[in-house]
């Protein structure tokens, strides 16, 4: 799931590797790693009637990923920043549409600059390709299924304690996504730290886990942290609190 700066140095110009910068477009245009392309969070979400950030449809993803030169055999590496969960949400989107050759750079833009990567304002134009989505429905859940099966899931809230105390999904447990974030130039704490974090919160690897937050972005970070720690049965409620509250479903 994670790749290092050294890995990126060795594979930056590999024709089978697509590098995507998930920062806001203006930051990308100001300067980005050579050969990288922009892919922002707003390109992979759509809004429902409640304002929830849901995953986009298959055709839009097929067209978008194909335009970035991605096919089902390409290795995709995403670049983000530690406190911005947008990159994690985009990783989850790739996984949801069946592209498992997706990785997140375990470093920040600042670290790339410190390690001698060339930054440019020139735009890289890829050769168009053909991406064929293969939806992995096991890693997503919608409100109706969640509401009817709450007792069968361990539901984790990735928001802040203040948000949690203001109202949360019934029987959900608070684990702010920031608890698994690293502050030493990497994006996440190491595997042992994360295993211990979830163990201390009594999260069993035998459980089916549902992650949510306000819009699904922070929950995606928690989703990846669980994956790194070795958990397998994880779902993202991408509608999250905004969708749940909009449907007037019960809260605690």
Total number of domains constituting the chain: 2
Q: What is the pLDDT along the chain (252 residues), one digit of tens a residue?
A: 899 999 999 999 999 999 999 999 999 999 999 999 999 999 999 999 999 999 999 999 999 999 999 999 999 999 998 789 999 999 999 999 999 999 999 998 889 989 999 999 999 999 989 999 999 999 999 999 999 999 999 999 999 999 999 999 999 999 999 999 998 778 999 999 999 999 999 999 999 999 999 999 999 999 999 999 999 999 999 999 999 999 999 999
CATH code for the domain of 201: 3.40.250.10
Are 21 and 112 contained in the same domain?
Answer: yes
Q: Is residue 179 part of a domain?
A: yes
* 53: containing domain: 2-136
Which domain-ending residue is among 109, 136, 163?
136
Total Cβ atoms within 10 A of residue 114: 12
Are 125 and 211 contained in the same domain?
Answer: no
The reported pLDDT for the residue numbered 105 is 96
Q: Is residue 160 part of a domain?
A: yes
Are 221 and 232 contained in the same domain?
Answer: yes
Q: Spell 133-162 as b/e; 16+ CB within 10 A means b.
A: beeeeebbbebeebeeebeebbbbbbbbee
Are 98 and 155 contained in the same domain?
Answer: no
Are 183 and 149 contained in the same domain?
Answer: yes
The reported pLDDT for the residue numbered 83 is 84
The reported pLDDT for the residue numbered 204 is 96
Are 132 and 143 contained in the same domain?
Answer: no
- Spatial distance between the Cα atoms of 241 and 214, rounded to a whole number of angstroms: 5
Are 110 and 19 contained in the same domain?
Answer: yes
Which domain-ending residue is among 74, 105, 136?
136
Are 37 and 102 contained in the same domain?
Answer: yes
Question: Which of 6-11's residues contact partners 24+ apart within 8 Å by CB, and which partners?
Answer: 8/77, 8/105, 8/112, 8/117, 9/115, 9/117, 11/75, 11/77
Contacts of 37 (CB under 8 A, 6+ apart): 18, 19, 20, 21, 68, 69, 123, 124, 126
Q: Is residue 231 part of a domain?
A: yes
Are 173 and 68 contained in the same domain?
Answer: no
pLDDT tens for 120-140 read 999 999 998 999 999 999 999
Which domain-ending residue is among 120, 136, 152?
136
Q: Is residue 129 part of a domain?
A: yes
pLDDT tens for 148-161 read 999 999 999 999 99
- Residue 82 and residue 182 in contact, taking contact as beta carbons nearer than 8 Å: yes
Are 96 and 206 contained in the same domain?
Answer: no
- Spatial distance between the Cα atoms of 97 and 77, rounded to a whole number of angstroms: 16
Are 148 and 101 contained in the same domain?
Answer: no
What are the strands, taking DSSP E only, across 95-179?
102-105, 119-120, 154-157, 173-174
Tokens of 25: 């477009």
- Spatial distance between the Cα atoms of 180 and 78, rounded to a whole number of angstroms: 19
Are 84 and 68 contained in the same domain?
Answer: yes
Q: Is residue 153 part of a domain?
A: yes
Contacts of 61 (CB under 8 A, 6+ apart): 44, 93, 97, 131, 133
The reported pLDDT for the residue numbered 81 is 84
């Amino acid at each position: 799931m994670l790749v290092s700066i050294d890995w990126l140095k060795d594979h930056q110009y590999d024709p089978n590797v697509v590098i995507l910068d998930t920062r806001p477009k203006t930051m990308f245009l100001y300067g980005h790693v050579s050969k990288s392309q922009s892919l922002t969070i707003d390109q992979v979400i759509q809004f429902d009637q409640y304002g929830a950030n849901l995953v986009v449809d298959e055709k839009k993803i097929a067209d978008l990923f194909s335009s970035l030169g991605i096919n089902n055999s390409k290795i995709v590496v995403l670049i983000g920043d530690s406190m911005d969960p947008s990159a994690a949400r985009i990783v989850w989107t790739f996984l949801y549409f069946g592209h498992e050759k997706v990785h997140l750079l375990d470093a920040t833009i600042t670290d790339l600059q410190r390690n001698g990567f060339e930054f440019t304002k020139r735009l890289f134009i890829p050769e168009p390709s053909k991406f064929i989505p293969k939806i992995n429905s096991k890693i997503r859940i919608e409100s109706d299924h969640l509401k009817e099966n709450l007792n069968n899931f361990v539901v984790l809230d990735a928001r802040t304690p203040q948000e949690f105390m203001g109202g949360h999904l019934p029987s959900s447990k608070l684990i702010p996504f920031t608890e698994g974030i690293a502050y030493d130039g990497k994006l996440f704490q190491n595997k042992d730290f994360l295993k211990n974090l979830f163990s201390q919160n009594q999260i069993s690897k035998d459980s089916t886990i549902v992650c949510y937050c306000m819009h699904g972005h922070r929950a995606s970070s928690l989703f990846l942290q669980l994956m790194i720690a070795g958990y397998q049965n994880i779902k993202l409620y991408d509608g999250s609190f905004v969708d749940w509250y909009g449907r007037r479903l019960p809260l605690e």
